[in-house]
Amino acid sequence: MAHRSQSGLSAAAVIDIWEQGAGRHPLDQALLLLRYACPDEPFETLCEWTVGERDRRLLESRRNTFGDRIDGYAECPACCNGLEFELSSEGLLGSASMTDATWHRVEQAGRSWDVRGPNSRDLAAAAAASDLDRARRVILSRCLRNGPDTVDESDWTDELQAALAARLSELDPLAEILIDLRCAACGHAWQSVFDIAGFFWNEIHVRGRRLLQEIDLLARTYGWTEGEILGMTDHRRRLYVGMALS
């Protein structure tokens, strides 16, 4: 865990993360990224952070590693036309205020509820549910209390579940980042969810493969070790790659 610097994840850290996370569940990949982004925090603490707090830290780590600009891609649900869009990590980070409070008191359907934002453990429990409806019930049952007691699921209507889920989103705004998009081809407008954990992981995957290719090339050309190659700055390594290919 000693690979992280203020400028972001080092080349060695990228390869370590990619190797350890390959083939694992997306929730595990997100926590692995978080461990490298926050090496001084106990793993148990990382698991207890709300999804919004987790994603805030991942946005910061992604910005420090790859830069502020995020180049995204989506397909129009109406005509399947491809759409490229640009986001700013700083813009996303500045769009939501965070709170240190764990439980919050809200009023809904004429009753008081204690609610908290879902964390990684809650998502793992929901991932084992048989369908989306059951997954939502799992999240609500773990993140809601009607006063000091656990919520009685028998009282839930679909409308109440939807309303309480919306309150959870309000309290943990970065847990679901919605992007407003409009298709240039047909004019259809929609909202798309931006998953920073999955996006960051895909970038790590691409960077990791490229780094191994660069290591292979430079080791065969100059006889350097993997450690020597990864110890170079990205700029110097790219210069050597360019010369080796010329």
Domain ranges of the chain: 4-96+179-245, 104-176
Element (H, E) at 57: helix 51-66
pLDDT at 136: 86
pLDDT at 15: 97
pLDDT at 166: 81
Is the sign of the CA dihedral 222, 226, 227, 231 positive or negative? positive
pLDDT at 175: 85
Per-residue pLDDT of the chain (246 residues; tens, 9 = 90+): 434 445 689 999 999 999 999 999 999 999 999 999 999 999 999 999 999 999 999 999 999 999 999 999 999 999 999 999 999 999 999 876 666 567 888 887 777 888 888 999 999 999 999 998 889 889 888 888 765 545 566 667 788 888 888 887 788 888 889 999 999 999 999 999 999 999 999 999 999 999 999 999 999 999 999 999 999 999 999 999 999 999
Element (H, E) at 111: strand 111-115
pLDDT at 3: 43
Distance of alpha carbon 157 from alpha carbon 91, whole angstroms: 36
pLDDT at 153: 63
pLDDT at 7: 62
How many residues are given for the chain? 246
Q: pTM for the whole thing?
A: 0.87
Per-residue CA distances from 174 to 50, 63, 168, 192, 229 (Å): 9, 16, 11, 14, 37
pLDDT at 198: 96
Distance of alpha carbon 150 from alpha carbon 192, whole angstroms: 33
pLDDT at 96: 67
